[in-house]
């Protein structure tokens, strides 16, 4: 029993009455809820976890306590859910539980650079002012990014905090994001508080100064502004879980198991904006803050299988939970498994951002549920900051541990884009890359001894054996990659490339070795008939040609490259442009 138990039970009985539904009650009341808010919150019971796994595609399951399931649905999902014949109870909307008067109790609004007491929910306009003010007040270490806009045109904003903030440095990149479920608002204010705290502590607090100098920290406090300000820009009272199209944004991402559209909905503007942001920023580590429970949830949500980094996840999850318990009130952060859980072991979800970031962006993202009450009352916001801020800092620091370093060309010293693969360990995108412009990679991993292979187009692969990693310490591995032009191997032959593939019109053909000599490229259609042929003259170590294939219709082809030394055949797909 946690400290909210009594309050929750009281509210539950008081508020459930107007909407409670036995099997024979009237549906129009629920219909009214959909008209007013586009979503309903309800609970039901299951007899086995398998039932949850079949329903998770239809409704958004929010929390599972034993065999009791709490969920949201839009109208379409709810109609489908009703066909499953589970008796259910409509619950009061979490966004309406706290009186609006309590939420709009503002602290005096202070301009940039001055200390704010974060015990209130800003209006949407104040939120914008704060975000602009953070960057304006600390231009050397804080930059404001627009990730995109919401369905209703509100801004998705993030600040980047780092020294040399306008450069991409050789540093790990950490992202914090909150309130993707618009009515889970605690994280929203805690993130504003964190930004303020980091900026004001820079130069005076050694730990924070070191963290900012050595890390690129990105913070997006409000991931679903239309949901959070569903009741209007002046208050978070009436906040909804869903976005303005009544879609659960944390079920709207590509899913490693179910493909690009696991919820059968189009990607929302918020989803597409975050996908681009993830693509452009190559985050090492991230966390997505929620409310409704108190637990650190780590990948996978969609798969039963564990990630190869399960030991590491348990280690950092335990650190988060232990620290939150230490600074929290009695019983804080002890849900599920004393505060940590594998996602799928709790309940399966598909289309979540966590799995998307891990699988598609080789990032390590966790889902952190920070408060049992979703819309945290203002008088608790400061306490929850005290419970959590040490965990916020610890987790950012984890981005430095494991193995990291710079990958460069052994001849020119230039940074190199490279895959960093832990042999007999990595799978399902747990490997990382060294990205340009810096050539830096960061790979948090649990302590142990590993063999790590670096590979890159036009370079010989390089393996480091018996690399020793200790928890809580960085192991640095600076790697010089030797380009192909200084030797020829079987591996080089396999690096002949036509790109883009699939593509259309003009293609590039790269033969990254060769010296002088003649070479023929032939292209055959799917029936083996030759449709293109050209003689090429190899004259350098890195031959690059344009192939004009405008005359070929879309479909599957094979290309064959023949010279004195090689004969190579591979697939080429031509698509409509
Ligand atoms: Zn949530």
What is the structure's pLDDT at 367? Answer: 98
Considering the domain architecture, whether residues 197 and 281 belong to the same structural domain is answered as yes
How large a percentage of the chain has pLDDT more than 90?
67
SS3 content of the chain, % helix, strand, coil (to 5): 30, 30, 40
Which sequence positions are flagged as catalytic? 369
* CB within 8 Å of 352: residues ≥ 6 apart: 250, 251, 253, 255, 301, 302, 343, 367
Q: What is the pLDDT of residues 243-290, one digit of tens each?
A: 999 999 999 999 999 998 999 999 999 999 999 999 899 999 999 999
Considering the domain architecture, whether residues 246 and 353 belong to the same structural domain is answered as yes
Q: 188, 228 in Cβ contact below 8 A?
A: yes
Using the predicted structure, report yes or no on whether residue 445 has a pLDDT greater than 90.
Answer: yes
Q: 552, 540 in Cβ contact below 8 A?
A: no
Residue ending a domain, choose from 398, 431, 451: 398
Report the chain's terminal Cα–Cα distance, integer Å. Answer: 60
Question: Could you write out the DSSP letters of every residue in 135-195?
Answer: HHH-TTTEEEEEEEE-TTS-EEEEEEE-TTTTS--SS-EEEEEE-SSTT--HHHHHHHHHH
What is the structure's pLDDT at 543? Answer: 77
**What CATH code is carried by the domain that includes residue 570?**
2.60.40.10
- Higher-confidence residue: 109 or 201? 201
7-16: b or e for each residue (b if 16 or more CB lie within 10 Å)? Answer: eeeebeeebb
Full 3-state SS string of 263-292: CCCCCCHHHHHHHHHHHHHCCCEEEEEECC
* CB within 8 Å of 79: residues ≥ 6 apart: none
Query: Maximum distance among all alpha carbons in the chain?
Result: 86
Tokens coding 154:
């509100």
Give CA torsion, residues 440, 177, 398, 441, to 10 deg: -10
Cα–Cα dist 518/531, whole Å: 20
- Helices then strands (H, E): number in the chain? 16, 27
Number of folded domains that form the chain: 4
What is the structure's pLDDT at 538? Answer: 79
Considering the domain architecture, whether residues 155 and 26 belong to the same structural domain is answered as no
Considering the domain architecture, whether residues 54 and 190 belong to the same structural domain is answered as no
Chain center to CA of 197: 24
Q: How far is the CA of 291 from the centre of ligand 1 (A)?
A: 6
- Domain hosting 474: range is 402-482
Considering the domain architecture, whether residues 561 and 430 belong to the same structural domain is answered as no
Cα–Cα dist 430/53, whole Å: 25
Q: How far is the CA of 292 from the centre of ligand 1 (A)?
A: 7
Residue identified by tokens 């690059």 is 544
Look at residue 178 and tell me if it is in a domain: yes
Angle at 261 between CA 256 and CA 265, to 5 degrees: 150
Considering the domain architecture, whether residues 19 and 149 belong to the same structural domain is answered as no
Q: How far is the CA of 179 from the centre of ligand 1 (A)?
A: 7
**What CATH code is carried by the domain that includes residue 82?**
3.30.70
Q: What is the pLDDT of residues 376-429, one digit of tens each?
A: 999 899 999 999 999 999 999 999 999 999 999 999 999 998 899 999 999 999
What is the structure's pLDDT at 557? Answer: 83
> DSSP state, 503?
B
User: What pTM was computed for the model?
Assistant: 0.81
Give CA torsion, residues 12, 17, 18, 20, to 10 deg: 90
Q: How far is the CA of 269 from the centre of ligand 1 (A)?
A: 19
Span 357-370, mean pLDDT?
A: 96
Using the predicted structure, report yes or no on whether residue 495 has a pLDDT greater than 70.
Answer: no
Q: How far is the CA of 97 from the centre of ligand 1 (A)?
A: 17
Q: How far is the CA of 271 from the centre of ligand 1 (A)?
A: 15
Considering the domain architecture, whether residues 83 and 65 belong to the same structural domain is answered as yes
- Is the bond leading into 502 cis (omega within 30 degrees of zero)? yes
What is the structure's pLDDT at 516? Answer: 65
> DSSP state, 259?
B
Considering the domain architecture, whether residues 530 and 564 belong to the same structural domain is answered as yes
């Amino acid at each position: 029993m946690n400290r909210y138990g009594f309050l929750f039970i009281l509210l539950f009985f008081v508020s459930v009455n107007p909407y409670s539904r036995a099997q024979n009650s009237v549906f129009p009341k629920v219909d009214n809820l959909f008209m007013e808010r586009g979503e309903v919150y309800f609970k039901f019971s299951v007899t086995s976890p398998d039932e949850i796994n079949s329903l998770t595609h239809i409704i958004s399951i929010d929390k599972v306590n034993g065999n009791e399931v709490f969920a949201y649905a839009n109208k379409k999902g709810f109609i489908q859910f009703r066909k499953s014949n589970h008796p259910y109870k409509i619950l009061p909307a979490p966004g309406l539980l706290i009186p609006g008067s309590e939420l709009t109790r503002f602290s005096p609004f202070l301009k940039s650079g001055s200390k704010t007491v974060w015990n209130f929910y800003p209006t949407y306009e104040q939120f914008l002012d704060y975000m602009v003010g953070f960057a304006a007040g600390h231009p050397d270490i804080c930059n404001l990014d627009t990730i995109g806009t919401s369905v209703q045109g509100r801004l998705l904003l993030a600040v980047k905090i780092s020294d040399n903030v306008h450069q991409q440095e050789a540093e790990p990149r950490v992202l914090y994001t909150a309130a993707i479920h618009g009515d889970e608002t605690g994280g929203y204010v805690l993130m504003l508080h964190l930004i303020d705290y980091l900026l004001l502590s820079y130069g005076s607090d050694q730990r924070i100064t070191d963290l900012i100098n050595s890390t690129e920290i990105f913070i997006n406090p409000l991931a679903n502004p239309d949901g959070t300000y569903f009741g209007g820009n002046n208050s978070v009272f009436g906040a909804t879980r869903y976005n303005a199209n009544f879609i659960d944004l944390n079920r709207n991402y590509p899913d490693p198991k179910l493909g690009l559209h696991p919820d059968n909905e189009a990607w929302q503007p918020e989803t597409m904006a975050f996908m681009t942001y993830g693509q452009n920023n190559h985050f090492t580590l991230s966390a997505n803050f929620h409310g409704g429970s108190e637990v650190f949830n780590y990948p996978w949500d969609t798969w039963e299988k564990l990630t190869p980094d399960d030991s590491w996840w348990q280690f950092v999850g335990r650190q988060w939970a232990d620290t939150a318990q230490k600074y929290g009130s009695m019983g804080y952060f002890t849900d599920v498994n004393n505060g940590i859980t594998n996602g799928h072991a709790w309940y399966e979800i598909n289309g979540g951002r966590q799995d998307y970031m891990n699988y598609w962006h080789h990032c390590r993202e966790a889902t952190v549920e920070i408060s049992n009450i979703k819309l945290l009352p203002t008088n608790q916001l400061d306490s929850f900051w005290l419970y959590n801020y040490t965990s916020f800092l610890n987790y950012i620091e984890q981005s430095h541990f494991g193995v990291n370093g710079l990958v460069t060309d052994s001849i020119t010293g230039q940074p190199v884009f490279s895959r960093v693969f832990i042999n007999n360990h990595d799978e399902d995108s747990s490997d990382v890359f060294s990205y340009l412009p810096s050539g830096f990679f960061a790979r948090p991993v649990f302590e142990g001894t590993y063999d790590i292979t670096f590979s890159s187009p036009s370079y010989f692969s390089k393996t480091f054996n018996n690399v020793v990693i200790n928890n809580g310490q960085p192991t640095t591995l600076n790697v010089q990659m030797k380009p192909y032009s200084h030797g020829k191997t079987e591996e080089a032959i396999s690096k002949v490339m036509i790109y883009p593939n699939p593509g259309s019109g003009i293609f590039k053909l790269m033969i990254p070795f060769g010296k002088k000599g003649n070479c023929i490229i032939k292209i055959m259609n799917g029936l083996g008939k030759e449709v293109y042929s050209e003689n090429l003259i190899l004259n350098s170590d890195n031959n690059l040609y344009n192939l004009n294939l405008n005359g070929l219709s879309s479909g599957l082809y094979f290309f064959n490259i023949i010279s004195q030394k090689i004969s190579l055949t591979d697939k080429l797909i031509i698509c409509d442009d």
